[in-house]
Amino acid sequence: MTTTMMTMTMMIMMKRREIMKMTMMILLQYQVGKRCTRQRRRKKKQKLLDTKWWGPTKKNDNVFKPYEPAFAVVEIGSHQFKVSNGDNIFTERLKFCEVNDKLILNKVLLLGSPSQTIVGRPIVPDGAVHAVVEEHALDAKVIIFKKKRRKNYRRTKGHRQELTKLRITNIEGVEKPLNELVEKPSNSAKKEQEKVAVSA
């Protein structure tokens, strides 16, 4: 009788060990899965906006640089924007940015100026667009109305898209044109040129 009891208790203990092993395996798989989702989320956030963190602006920061006639095509999230110095653009809400934060947008697809155009394959390696977060806002309301006739089915729903307003402060990667001083010819030089033209 005692031997059968002993074997029964041993069997129960073995089953408990197996159950514990199984639960530990499940917990480990769950934690690994959790870690993977965290990494995926991080990658997604990085992909959403490929930026470098600079921190908030200060009151005495001279944010704007003198205007240069240059433009850039920037990818933010899955949208592309054509921007130049001083432009304001509305993007989808950037959740990890606060108001007055400086951003560097690295996904520059194209840079252009009066003297040159640089096309990226797919991005321009030295190109960067500096921006400042102006505000977080909501877009105008869009009403979604569904109806199926003769079925007494009507659904009305509203949606306001969350937006972030960015102000473009600088575009890097385009060579700045040199301001060469061109001397105006004097009146006597003009008259001499006219005389030469007439005599020829």
Residues 6+ apart with CB under 8 A from 43: none
Q: Model's pTM, two decimal places?
A: 0.54
The C-alpha atoms of residue 132 and residue 169 are separated, in whole angstroms, by: 7
The one-character DSSP state at 17 is H
Q: Where are the domains of the chain?
A: 1-48, 51-172
Q: How far is 107 from 173, CA to CA, in rounded Å? A: 12
Quick: pLDDT tens for 170-199. Answer: 998 877 655 544 556 666 666 676 766 665
- What pLDDT digit, counting tens, does each position of 12-61 carry? 666 666 777 777 667 666 665 556 677 777 776 666 555 444 555 555 55
The three-state DSSP-derived secondary structure of 130-145 is EEEEEEEEECCCEEEE
What pLDDT was estimated at residue 184?
60
The alpha-carbon radius of gyration of the chain (Å, integer) is: 33
User: What value does the mean pLDDT take over residues 64-90?
Assistant: 84
Cβ atoms of residues 144 and 158 within 8 Å: yes
